[in-house]
């Protein structure tokens, strides 16, 4: 066998692992093949050709494919918008086909089809990148294993069902409506759902299969490639730094102690598709921003793609682009300071991103309800160590300048909260030490690189927004979750520079052995802390002392490890540069181990299918009859039919001030509802705190509509049914006696089309 085919073995191993994980979690092989065709032919191929034409090849195939796939996502969104505006679905295949045909037919474009002279990835870094991808896929497998595909009874996180309803909505023509409250204009960062709608429609695969299985695997692989490319860009071409950037930024988690895990997670979040989808878009955008500020990017094509990626970011996750804008500001300032002149490229870039932020807010949020408000130290509200001590007994649901309890806390309370903040900073050391290090790295060329300051601004603003803003669902945390990979990338760049200036330019075998040992030490220490001390809990008679023990023991372990490391270094490990690299490897090993410890319960706990076989099904699960009824509705109702349902709450029974986040009738049934669940509507969020209730427990936003809807199911009068049909165009009634009693008279004014246990579906004449 020649060496050329062997170069592709790491990629082949990753692809086999992805397919195996999907098959093991119930995904159809035929669906996998069809979806893979969409990604290869409809996204990656035309996107790679387009990226090469606009910005030139990157000199190697993995980066071309990474940036090309991200560009293909933009092309897909453009095709989806045309399909939504015209209602002509074949355009989802026509646009990529015309793109490929143009590159095949036009001589000036044909040179981008097959680029010669691409440099292969060295064997070691190639396997390191494959390892990062396999860890990411292992994380995805754990999520798939704990979330069943529809077909039987099951428990679904409400946001996934909400997104499933949006995916179905975005497969329809414009204008888009809120599927759970038909008639309301949809204002939401929904481009991740648009991607799933377009991919599922083009592949002919059910929307639930796309959302719960197929979409995230390819996005993960592209994200790893793009962060590796960003690491190489910052270190002027080091593949080892690229692999380290991808690992530190994507497949690590902080070893959260004392309930501080809100912002200690990995940026990969299965329960928030918008967060995971925006990561490759952000990575591509930041890379372009860095290239433009450095002056090493093709002006025209790079500017076009920068604007496109910026718009896609703001339409995918509202918290994404503001942090990149702040990073661009710092990068422009750094460029001006180093060049001692007005950085017009930087000024233009900042203005461009600022305009896109404003336009995106207008299009995707319409001004919004504004659930963010200033509150210092807001993150501690979600830490159990705080709730058991300083914040004990506080139930305030609205924001304030300080969290509840802290404003009235004495010296002891403030010292305790500051200790919590210190522990969080230590947890985030892998992501933040570059932010701390850069201003003091006087002799490092990284400090003079405007690209480094872009990452510095992204990470600092993400952390600042998370700690200084408040949201009733802790959504301010997404500012940091989206920024943390860039903080990690900055740290890798500084370590790589430190190692290189220490004359350790190529990882020798001895250095690799030291790195492996350091990774193992970091993982072992994390296991010791998490398994040994995380079982302790706060509260009790003296909660301050209890939590001081919980937080103090990990601090002692970390400090002891630091002391041992310093002694070892002083006794014989004196090679310049390697000390920083080994310290980084310890932190990286700790982060990867922490992610494994976080995922481990999902890999070992009984699957939902095995729980179902025991017969002990919790009340908040969907029954098999409910899932079957929703599937029947999806199969028999027209694409644009409107339904009415008496299902609104989670759990299912409707009670006053329930949590109105059921979402499963519109999600699994795939049709707009007059009023289903309203927790995420603009008016409900705007009413957060009224009468002391959270937004999810506020009354229905349209009382008259809600009252009519409920009367139809409770009384079944012909007058109410006729009004519901005439005013809202209702065609179907989805009645579930688990939610509320249903009048027998309803069968006399509507045709019973389906009955299964507690669910009856009626068709209106």
Q: What is 603-619 written as a DSSP string?
A: HHSPPHHHHHHHT---T
pLDDT of residue 320: 94
What contacts 24+ positions apart, CB below 8 Å, involve 234-237?
234/290, 234/446, 234/449, 234/451, 234/452, 234/455, 234/489, 234/490, 234/492, 234/493, 235/492, 235/493, 235/496, 235/497
Q: CA of 372: how far to CAs of 150, 402, 461, 476, in Å?
A: 35, 14, 15, 7
Distance separating alpha carbons of residues 560 and 568, to the nearest angstrom: 12
DSSP 211: I
**Token pair recorded at residue 385:** 């160590």
- Give residue 63's Cα distance to chain centre: 22
Mean pLDDT of each 10-residue bin along the chain, 765 residues long: 68 96 95 97 96 92 96 97 94 95 91 86 92 95 91 87 96 94 91 97 96 97 97 90 93 71 76 94 97 84 95 94 96 91 91 94 64 84 80 68 81 83 82 89 87 96 92 86 94 85 54 64 68 54 67 69 64 56 77 80 71 64 92 94 95 89 94 94 84 88 94 94 94 95 93 94 92
Closest CA relative to residue 313, chosen from 288, 287, 278 = 278
Does the N-terminal peptide bond of residue 175 adopt cis geometry, omega within 30 degrees of 0? yes
Q: CA of 190: how far to CAs of 193, 569, 728, in Å?
A: 5, 51, 25
Closest CA relative to residue 642, chosen from 182, 173, 207, 185 = 182
**pTM of the predicted structure, to 2 decimals:** 0.93
pLDDT of residue 735: 96
Q: CA of 301: how far to CAs of 50, 55, 57, 72, 696, in Å?
A: 10, 5, 12, 15, 45
**Token pair recorded at residue 589:** 């090993």
Distance separating alpha carbons of residues 680 and 658, to the nearest angstrom: 14
Q: In sequence order, what are the residues at sequence separation of 6 or more whose Cβ sits closer than 8 angstroms to the Cβ of residue 257?
A: 423, 427, 529, 530, 533, 534, 550, 551, 554
Question: Cβ distance 759 to 625 under 8 Å?
Answer: yes
Q: Report the SS3 class of residue 207.
A: helix
Reported residue count of the chain is 765
Closest CA relative to residue 144, chosen from 266, 264, 18, 30 = 18
Does the N-terminal peptide bond of residue 651 adopt cis geometry, omega within 30 degrees of 0? yes
Q: Report the SS3 class of residue 374.
A: strand
Query: Secondary structure of the chain: what % helix, strand, coil (to 5)?
Result: 65, 5, 30
Strand 642-645 and strand 730-736: the pairing is parallel
Place of tokens 């802790």: 474
Distance separating alpha carbons of residues 699 and 687, to the nearest angstrom: 9
Burial, 217: exposed, middle or buried (Cβ in 10 Å; 0-12, 13-18, 19+)?
buried
Q: Strand runs (DSSP E) across 467-599, as ranges?
A: 469-470
Q: Within 10 A of 727 (CB to CB), how many other CB atoms are there?
A: 13
């Amino acid at each position: 066998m020649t060496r050329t085919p062997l170069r592709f073995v790491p990629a082949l191993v990753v692809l086999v692992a992805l397919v195996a994980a999907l098959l093991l979690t119930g995904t159809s092989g035929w669906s996998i093949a069809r979806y893979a065709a969409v990604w290869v032919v409809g996204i990656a191929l035309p996107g790679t050709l387009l990226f090469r034409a606009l910005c030139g090849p990157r000199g190697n195939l993995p980066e071309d494919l990474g940036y090309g796939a991200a560009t293909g996502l933009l092309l897909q969104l453009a095709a989806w918008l045309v399909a939504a505006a015209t209602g002509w679905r074949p355009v989802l295949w026509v646009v990529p086909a015309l793109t490929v045909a143009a590159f095949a037919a036009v001589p000036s474009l044909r040179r981008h089809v097959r680029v010669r002279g691409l440099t292969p990835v060295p064997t070691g870094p190639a396997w390191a990148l494959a390892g990062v991808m396999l860890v990411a896929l292992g994380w995805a497998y754990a999520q798939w294993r704990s979330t069943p595909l529809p077909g039987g009874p099951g428990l679904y996180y409400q946001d996934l069902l909400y997104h499933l309803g949006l995916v179905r909505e975005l497969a329809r023509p414009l204008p888009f409506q809120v599927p759970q409250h038909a008639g309301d204009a949809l204002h939401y960062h929904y481009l991740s759902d648009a991607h799933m709608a377009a991919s599922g429609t083009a592949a002919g695969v059910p929307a639930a299969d796309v959302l719960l299985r197929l979409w995230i695997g390819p996005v993960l692989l592209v994200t790893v490639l793009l962060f590796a490319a960003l690491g190489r860009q910052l270190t002027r071409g080091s593949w080892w730094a690229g692999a380290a950037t991808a690992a530190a930024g994507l497949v690590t988690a902080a070893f959260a102690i004392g309930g501080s895990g809100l912002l200690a997670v990995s940026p990969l979040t299965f329960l928030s598709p918008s967060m995971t989808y925006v990561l490759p878009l952000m990575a591509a955008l930041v890379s372009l921003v860095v290239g433009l500020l450095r002056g090493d990017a093709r002006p025209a094509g790079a500017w076009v793609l920068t604007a496109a990626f910026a718009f896609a970011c703001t339409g995918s996750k509202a918290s994404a682009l503001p942090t990149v804008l702040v990073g661009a500001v710092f990068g422009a300032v750094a460029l001006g300071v180093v060049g001692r002149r007005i950085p017009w490229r930087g000024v233009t870039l900042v203005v461009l991103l600022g305009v896109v932020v404003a336009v995106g807010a207008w299009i995707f949020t319409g001004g919004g309800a504004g659930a963010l408000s200033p509150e210092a130290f807001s993150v501690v509200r979600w830490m159990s160590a705080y709730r058991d001590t300083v914040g004990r007994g506080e139930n305030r649901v609205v924001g304030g300048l300080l969290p509840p309890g802290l404003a009235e806390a004495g010296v002891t309370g403030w010292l305790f909260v500051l200790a919590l903040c210190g522990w969080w900073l230590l947890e985030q050391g892998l992501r933040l030490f570059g932010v701390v290090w850069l201003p003091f790295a006087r002799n490092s060329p990284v400090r003079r690189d405007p690209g480094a300051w872009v990452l510095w601004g992204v990470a600092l603003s993400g952390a600042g927004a998370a700690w200084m803003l408040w949201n009733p669902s802790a959504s301010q945390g997404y500012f940091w979750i989206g920024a943390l990979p860039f903080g990690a990338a900055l740290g890798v760049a500084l370590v790589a520079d430190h190692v290189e200036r220490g004359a350790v330019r190529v990882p020798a075998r001895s250095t690799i052995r030291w790195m492996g040992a350091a990774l193992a030490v970091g993982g072992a220490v994390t296991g010791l802390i998490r398994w040994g001390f995380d079982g302790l809990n706060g509260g009790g008679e003296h909660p301050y002392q209890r939590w001081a023990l919980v937080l103090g023991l990990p601090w002692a372990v970390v400090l002891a490890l630091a002391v041992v490391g310093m002694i070892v270094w002083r006794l014989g490990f004196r090679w310049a540069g390697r000390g920083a690299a080994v310290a980084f490897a310890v932190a990286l090993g700790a982060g990867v181990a922490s992610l494994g410890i976080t995922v481990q319960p999902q890999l070992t706990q009984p699957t939902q299918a095995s729980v179902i076989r025991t017969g002990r099904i919790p009340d908040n699960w969907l029954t098999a009859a409910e899932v079957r009824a929703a599937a029947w509705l999806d199969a028999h109702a027209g694409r644009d039919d409107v339904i009415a349902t008496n299902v609104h709450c989670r759990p299912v029974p409707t009670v006053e001030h329930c949590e109105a986040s059921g979402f499963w009738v519109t999600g699994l049934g795939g049709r707009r509802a007059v009023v289903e669940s309203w927790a995420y509507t603009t008016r409900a969020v705007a009413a957060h705190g009224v009468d002391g209730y959270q937004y999810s427990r506020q009354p229905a936003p349209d009382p008259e509509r809600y009252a009519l809807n409920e009367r139809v199911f409770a009384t079944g009068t012909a007058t109410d049914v006729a009004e519901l049909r005439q005013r809202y165009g209702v065609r179907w009634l989805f009645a579930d006696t688990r939610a509320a009693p249903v009048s027998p008279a309803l069968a006399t004014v509507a045709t019973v089309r389906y009955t299964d246990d507690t669910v009856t579906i009626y068709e209106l004449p």
